[in-house]
Amino acid sequence: MARISTYALDSDVTANDKVIGTDSAGTITRNYKISDIIDFLNRNGKIDIAGSRFKYIRPSSSQTYGFLRFTVDQGDTPKFSIINNLQLHKQDLSETELPAFYEAIEGSLVLIQKSDDPSQFGVFDWNSSTQNSSDTNVYDIALTFKGGNGTLENEKDYLISLLLFRFDDYRDKNKVINQATPATTWSMNHGLNKKPSVTVVDSSGEKVVGLVDYVDLNNVTITFINPASGDAYFN
């Protein structure tokens, strides 16, 4: 065998290229495909930075960790759009323990994406996580589908990543309160814990102007020259 330094460099590296190495079991020299090395590194959490990796399985699978599945079998290729709950093992495929993460991201926006095809994905509200009473290694995750494309595929890997942490904390709080009885003074509790802008629309659909007095961060009075009924919009 010639010295390694005498071989030409290949600048066109592909997933099917091979490198030579030694198998730790028996110290046997073997060829290794680039694609297999990448897959090994991903499965052991050495490369993935986009999220935690899980394998989608059906309930009858023998996979013992690192899986996501449905409580009720949804077949080989369920659409992301039908997902409103999943079961996740407490460990991802790299055997990282994640229960604290599951709990911390409640109320957040998450992405579930096929690891080798980013065009297959779903965006979800992560509503809650509850340890399963029958199998404490499994967590029941309640989700709300927000958008996406494609399907899960049986025995394929998916990345779960955080898009926006507790997004409700960052949304502008707003409220609409109806005043059904005509009055010159509206006393309203909006409960937004701030001094919001106030817009009034009367019962005929016309915008009207009143004098807004901020009693505190949660209460206002709105005074009009003539009695009025309608809606107050707090933004």
pLDDT at 66 over 60: yes
* Residue extents of the structural domains in the chain: 52-169, 175-234
DSSP string, 87-147: EEESB-TT--B-HHHHHHTTTEEEEEEETT-TTSEEEEEEEEEEE-SS-TTEEEEEEEEEE
Residue count (the chain) = 235
What pLDDT, in 10s, does the model give residues 105-148?
A: 998 999 999 988 989 999 999 999 999 999 999 999 999 999 99
What pLDDT, in 10s, does the model give residues 79-93?
A: 999 999 999 999 999
- Say what percent of the chain tops pLDDT 70: 89
What is the predicted pLDDT for the residue at 173?
77
- Cα separation, 10 vs 28, in Å, equals 25
Do residues 45 and 65 lie in contact, with contact meaning Cβ atoms separated by under 8 Å?
Answer: no
Task: Tell me the CATH number of domain 52-169, given options 2.60.290, 1.10.40, 2.40.30, 2.60.120.
Answer: 2.40.30
Query: What is the three-class DSSP state of 179?
Result: strand
pLDDT at 235 over 80: yes
Query: φ, ψ for residue 36 (rounded to 5)?
Result: -70, -35
Mean pLDDT, the chain, as a whole number?
88
pLDDT confidence tier of residue 198, bands split at 50, 70 and 90: very high
pLDDT at 215 over 70: yes
What is the predicted pLDDT for the residue at 48?
47
What is the predicted pLDDT for the residue at 38?
66
Query: What is the three-class DSSP state of 194?
Result: coil
Residue 73: both structure tokens together: 């079998």
pLDDT at 217 over 60: yes
- Cα separation, 33 vs 20, in Å, equals 9
Side-chain-side CA neighbours of 21 within 13 Å: the count stands at 10
